[in-house]
Structure 1
């Protein structure tokens, strides 16, 4: 099992799958080559919210991954779920977020002006995650990653010109929120 990160976390990456299964994102992030890339970019802590994937998370902590960690000062810690306040704190204290493309996580990361790579969960039916990721990437608020090109997205995140999201109370912010809520209402009505 992965050791818990130390209290000192100079440069943290937060990985979150939200409340639905997204084992392939956890698998992609915990590949030794990806962890080595993050470490080479100066990140010191990886925090993984793996949802229902505890067995998968534990199985990915291999001898090869331990070897990568032994050559660095990076620590990895994970957990299934946390309260909204705890997730907010993870986002606030992280330098980079790698996430499913759920609107709540994206908006929270943008609220705190965090660099975020969103990876739509392609296994979901009627995939609004993909639509949201495409639109937010087109506007340069996020990097849309995929399981296949995650390393490229991580490298791109270093010098990507992220656009700052409008602050709460601005007209544009409320328009985006209203549009997202409209999608949710339609899902409930037609789902």
Structure 2
């Protein structure tokens, strides 16, 4: 059984939840749905998950929107993840971050449409087995930057 956490952040991403909310023999989902209007039928869900970073290691895979905060936090961890940009948003910045992640081999990426037309079990297994490049976090101290430029 593949245990998958699906994260949409603080904005709705109903199309992602809807395409994954189906019965699969070997996949179990937990959805973080924000204030979405889609009613989850087959899996557990919460609107928001307190201290979400603490539960990442409980899952085999995390499917996440391409929100910068979530993606960069996942890059610092060990849990495999799949990035799906939320194109339901009025701005399209998530497409740029997903492209950066893909182009730099930091995680597997796809669209909602690709998820709806693929064999999910084999696709998710390939995301789990994806050998990503190591992400090196740049050290940044805003305090030092402000003092230096003051």
C-alpha contact (below 8 Å) 1:99/1:119 kept by paired residues = yes
- Partner in structure 1 of residue 93 of structure 2: 128
Ranges of 4+ aligned residues in structure 1 off by more than 4 Å: none
The CA deviation at 1:27 is 0.5
C-alpha contact (below 8 Å) 2:5/2:30 kept by paired residues = yes
C-alpha contact (below 8 Å) 1:48/1:78 kept by paired residues = yes
- Partner in structure 1 of residue 18 of structure 2: 27
Q: How does 1:66-105 map to 2 (within 5 A)?
A: 76-83=43-50, 85=51, 87-105=52-70
Structure 1 CA distance for aligned equivalents of residues 6 and 76 of structure 2 = 17
The CA deviation at 1:25 is 0.5
What is the CA RMSD across the aligned residues, in angstroms? Answer: 2.4
| Aligned residue pair count | 136
TM-score, scaled relative to structure 1:
0.63
C-alpha contact (below 8 Å) 1:117/1:153 kept by paired residues = no
- Partner in structure 2 of residue 161 of structure 1: 131
Structure 2 CA distance for aligned equivalents of residues 12 and 89 of structure 1 = 16
Structure 2 CA distance for aligned equivalents of residues 141 and 113 of structure 1 = 12
TM-score, scaled relative to structure 2:
0.78
Structure 1 CA distance for aligned equivalents of residues 38 and 108 of structure 2 = 26
C-alpha contact (below 8 Å) 1:12/1:94 kept by paired residues = yes
Which ranges of structure 2 fall in alignment gaps of 5 or more residues?
A: 142-150
- Partner in structure 2 of residue 116 of structure 1: 81
- Partner in structure 2 of residue 52 of structure 1: 35
Q: Which has the higher helix share?
A: 1
What secondary structure, in the 3-state scheme, does the structure 1 residue paired with 2:113 have? coil
